[in-house]
Amino acid sequence: MYRRVVLKLSGEILSGEGEKGFDEKRTEYLIGEIKKALKIGTQLILVIGAGNLFRGKQLKTVDGCIADSIGMLGTTINALYLKSEFNKADLPAITVSSQVNMPAIKGFEYDKINVELAEGKIVIFAGGTTLPFFTTDTAAIIRAAEFKADAVIKGTKVDGIYETDPRIDPSAEKISKVSFKEAIGRDLKIMDREAFSLCWRKKIPLVIINFFKSDNLLKAIKQEDIGTLVIPE
């Protein structure tokens, strides 16, 4: 079992693919899955994107640096929303950012965050990497390295990595286990290259799961045969 994990989710987990805003039923589902993980003693770090609010690439008339900054602020909105919803569900949670100074957001201090994790609180990181041109995938891997997570779990809408896109090619074969080196050599589409190479360099196991299937998060944390496991050599 992984004791401390980073869970990376797209902002669309809160709205539905292609939708905007917050969907109550999706939030309830997320809370239910996270409750199962916390019940077995998992220390959980959450990094969420902003796809339900803004995507920098959609702001075509805006300078790239500014568009990415807007996206990072979108992740902060999502992080604060989740903190509120988790707390209402009796799940202790804090939002952390070095980008935004607000009373509802805690500052970035390693020792204090490690204490919060040890106390069983969900730590939600907002603001991505705080730098333009990097995705929240990269932010998730950085947090995993900083806080010595046992693994990164990326929740998606497909149940792992396939040779080709299973939504386009129904005959596509799922890959259950692969090394970082092999994944790069085969040009498998897992996450952006910067994030993937950092994960490889830091030797952090990566699990890709279908987050929308109940109990998949719990199974991944328990290291059951679920999704796709990407391992160091």
What's the number of domains the chain is made of? 1
Output the pLDDT for position 166.
Answer: 79
Residue 108 exposed, middle or buried by CB count within 10 Å (0-12, 13-18, 19+): middle
Q: Could you tell me the residue range of the domain that residue 24 belongs to?
A: 4-231
Cα–Cα distance measured from residue 173 to residue 228, given in angstroms and rounded to the nearest whole number: 12
Q: Where are the beta strands (DSSP E) in 63-111?
A: 93-96
Enter the pTM of the model.
Answer: 0.94
Mean pLDDT of each 10-residue bin along the chain, 233 residues long: 97 85 95 98 96 75 88 94 98 94 93 97 95 92 97 93 82 90 84 88 96 97 96 85
Which CATH number do you get for residue 98?
3.40.1160.10
Cα–Cα distance measured from residue 94 to residue 92, given in angstroms and rounded to the nearest whole number: 7
Q: What is the DSSP secondary structure assignment for residue 14, as one 8-state letter?
A: G
Long-range contacts of range 212-217, CB-CB < 8 Å, 24 or more positions apart?
A: 212/29, 212/157, 213/159, 214/29, 214/32, 214/33, 215/33, 215/36, 216/33, 216/155, 216/159, 217/7, 217/33, 217/34, 217/36, 217/37, 217/153, 217/155
Residue 94 three-state SS: strand
Residues 6+ apart with CB under 8 A from 14: 21, 22, 23, 26, 27, 30, 48, 52, 78, 81, 82
Cα–Cα distance measured from residue 53 to residue 80, given in angstroms and rounded to the nearest whole number: 13
Angle at which helix 136-146 crosses helix 193-201, to 10 degrees, equals 20
Output the pLDDT for position 32.
Answer: 98
Contact 137, 164 (CB under 8 A): no
Output the pLDDT for position 67.
Answer: 87
Output the pLDDT for position 56.
Answer: 59
Encoding tokens for residue 16?
A: 């539905």
Encoding tokens for residue 41?
A: 């003693």
Q: What are phi and psi of 162, to 5 degrees?
A: -120, 160
Q: How many CB atoms lie within 10 A of CB 135?
A: 19
